[in-house]
């Protein structure tokens, strides 16, 4: 038995089986690359579900982590710390928001957004206590807590975990009509993803977000966007909603790449009017806004801007999509869709075998919803590396024999 097999067996023996990882044990990461314990090298096409937009172990982010770790790591929010204010200022100015409430994980940020919406609904809109409703979309993914699975339509996320949190109405994604029909006197907000990532990179039609924003304005609802996966350059804009002119959410939920994959950091951003409703003792987190997280977050945000990673995602994402959409005649293909470096390849068959074949070719991908192959490399990827990815990916998608030997136009 080799060491990788032994480690996998150790994890399977002592760890709860709530994931089904590929059979590889990773040891090192740099940029878009990962290495296993045997020294084999792989292109990372998952980016830890878009947490590693800045690339693995970015030296500026790691430098900030190491420097701060030798000074002060945690104080709790019982005291001020040197770094949090600057971090929140950097984040708010980048997002053009007035205030931020820092947390740790994406699920915590969504929970915080839910509490924020309900607090606003009672104190500002005047909805009776404990009666506020939030409209969400079918096939969403907002986390794994009881409240977030309560607003999920995915049975696998819910099975055995009831009773569920009330106060959510689920409607079809990408339908303004469905949202409008669900609004009633108890509706406080619409909470959506601008692109549904876990559902298979499902992209709504043009002007959908503008339509949601208009509907919210007409009915005095909060417009809340979960950009935990789509934010910080993933789709070719700093935030995905910026693809539509004039759109700006009332509440913006961020996480993942907020730390460059180095440390758990998330936040809810909004106006002073909304987040200013919180008073001491109503909400909190021991680790939220800790100085180590704040130092890492500042560095991660600086890297996004200084390296113009949103523009790189837009350029190389368009190139990658164009190459994939050539007339290859891929076997079992239903659709290829994407925005920036956030691409889903939907097949009529399960794609887990494709992921396993790509593993042997030095590419790490993962299926979502069984039949969608997600392609989301770190945004620091370059064109030569995209071409390498295409050379590995296209044969695994099994083009028609007449096209299989056609040299890619690169």
Catalytic residue among 141, 232, 330, 342: 141
Specify if 409 maps to a domain. Answer: no
Annotated catalytic residue: which of 83, 169, 256, 366? 256
Residues 186 and 209 in one domain: yes
Of 291, 306, 321, the residue at which a domain comes to its end is: 306
Predicted local confidence at residue 74, as pLDDT? 98
User: Residue 130 sits in a domain of what CATH number?
Assistant: 3.40.640.10
Please check whether residues 338 and 302 belong to one and the same domain: no
pLDDT at position 400:
78
Pair 365, 239 in one domain: no
Give me the helices (H) in 96-168, please.
Answer: 106-120, 146-150, 155-158
Whether 188 and 108 share a structural domain = yes
Domain carrying residue 283: 59-306
| 13 and 118 co-located in one domain | no
- Mark whether 108 and 85 lie in a shared domain: yes
The secondary structure of 229-268 as a DSSP string is: TTTTTTTSSSSGGGGSTT---SEEEE-GGGGTTSS--EEE
Residue 342 above 90 pLDDT? yes
Q: Are residues 236 and 383 in the same domain?
A: no
What's the pLDDT at 410?
43
Instruction: Give per-residue pLDDT as tens, 200-213.
Output: 999 999 999 999 99
pTM of the entire structure?
A: 0.97
Residue among 83, 168, 226, 366 flagged as catalytic: 226
Quick: pLDDT tens for 120-143. 999 999 999 999 999 999 999 999
Nearest CA-CA partner of 30 in 68, 67, 61, 70: 61
Exposed/middle/buried for 219, CB within 10 Å: 0-12, 13-18, 19+?
A: middle
Q: Could you tell me if 281 and 317 lie in one domain? A: no
282 and 141 share one domain: yes
Q: Is residue 261 part of a domain?
A: yes
User: 256 an active-site residue?
Assistant: yes
Q: Considering the domain boundaries, does residue 250 fall inside one?
A: yes
Percentage of the chain modeled with pLDDT above 70:
98
Q: Residue 341 belongs to a domain with what CATH number?
A: 3.90.1150.10
The answer as to whether 144 is a domain residue is yes
Question: What's the distance, CA 405 to chain centroid?
Answer: 36
User: 98 lies in a domain?
Assistant: yes
Last residue of a domain, one of 272, 306, 340: 306
What single DSSP character describes residue 125? I
pLDDT at 145: 97
Mean per-residue pLDDT, 232-258: 98
Is pLDDT at 32 greater than 90 in this prediction? Answer: yes
pLDDT reported for residue 402 = 55
Q: How many domains does the chain have?
A: 2
187 with 300, same domain: the answer is yes
Residue 410 lies in a domain: no
Domain match, 146 and 14 both: no
Q: What is the pLDDT of residues 379-408, one digit of tens each?
A: 999 999 999 999 999 999 999 775 555 445
Average pLDDT, whole number, for the chain? Answer: 96
Q: What is the pLDDT of residues 59-116, one digit of tens each?
A: 999 999 999 999 999 999 999 999 999 999 999 999 999 999 999 999 999 999 999 9
**pLDDT of 263-298, one tens digit each?**
999 999 999 999 999 999 999 999 999 999 999 999
- Residues 187, 109 share a domain: yes
Res 409 pLDDT > 70:
no
Decide which of 306, 325, 347 is a domain's last residue. Answer: 306
Residue 375 lies in a domain: yes
């Amino acid at each position: 038995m080799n060491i990788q097999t032994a480690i996998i067996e150790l994890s399977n023996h002592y760890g709860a089986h709530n994931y089904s990882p590929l059979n590889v044990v990773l040891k090192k990461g740099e940029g878009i690359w990962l290495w296993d314990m045997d020294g084999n090298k792989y292109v990372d096409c998952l980016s830890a579900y878009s947490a590693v937009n800045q690339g693995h172990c970015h030296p500026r982010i790691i430098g900030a982590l190491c420097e701060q770790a030798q000074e002060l790591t945690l104080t709790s929010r019982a005291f001020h710390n040197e770094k949090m204010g600057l971090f929140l200022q950097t984040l708010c100015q980048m997002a053009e928001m007035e205030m931020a409430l820092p947390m740790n994980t994406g699920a915590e940020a969504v929970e915080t957004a839910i509490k924020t919406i309900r607090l606003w609904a009672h104190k500002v809109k005047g909805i009776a206590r404990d009666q506020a409703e939030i409209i969400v979309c079918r096939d969403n993914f907002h986390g794994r807590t009881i409240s977030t699975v309560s607003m999920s339509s995915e049975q696998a996320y819910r099975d055995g975990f009831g009773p569920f949190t009330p106060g959510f109405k689920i409607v079809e994604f990408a339908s303004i009509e469905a949202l409008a029909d669900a609004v009633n006197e108890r509706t406080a907000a619409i909470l959506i993803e601008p692109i549904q990532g876990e559902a298979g990179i499902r992209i709504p039609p043009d002007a959908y977000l503008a339509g949601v924003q208009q509907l919210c304005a007409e009915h005095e609802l909060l417009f809340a966007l979960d950009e935990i996966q789509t934010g910080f350059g993933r789709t070719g804009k700093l935030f995905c909603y910026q693809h539509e002119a004039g759109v700006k959410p009332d509440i913006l939920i961020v996480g993942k790449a907020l730390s460059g994959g180095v440390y758990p950091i998330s936040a809810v951003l909004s106006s002073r009017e909304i987040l200013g409703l919180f008073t001491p003792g109503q909400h909190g987190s021991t680790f939220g806004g800790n100085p180590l997280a704040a130092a890492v977050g500042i560095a991660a945000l600086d890297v996004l801007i200084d390296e113009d990673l949103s523009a790189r995602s837009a350029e190389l994402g368009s190139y990658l999509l164009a190459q994939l959409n050539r007339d290859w005649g891929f076997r079992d293909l239903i659709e290829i869709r994407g925005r920036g470096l956030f691409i889903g390849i939907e097949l009529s068959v399960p794609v887990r075998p494709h992921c396993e074949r790509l593993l042997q070719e030095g590419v790490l991908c993962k299926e979502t919803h069984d039949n969608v192959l997600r392609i989301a490399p770190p945004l620091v990827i370059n064109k030569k590396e995209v071409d390498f990815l295409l050379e590995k990916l296209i044969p695994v998608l099994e083009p028609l024999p007449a096209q299989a030997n056609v040299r890619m136009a690169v």
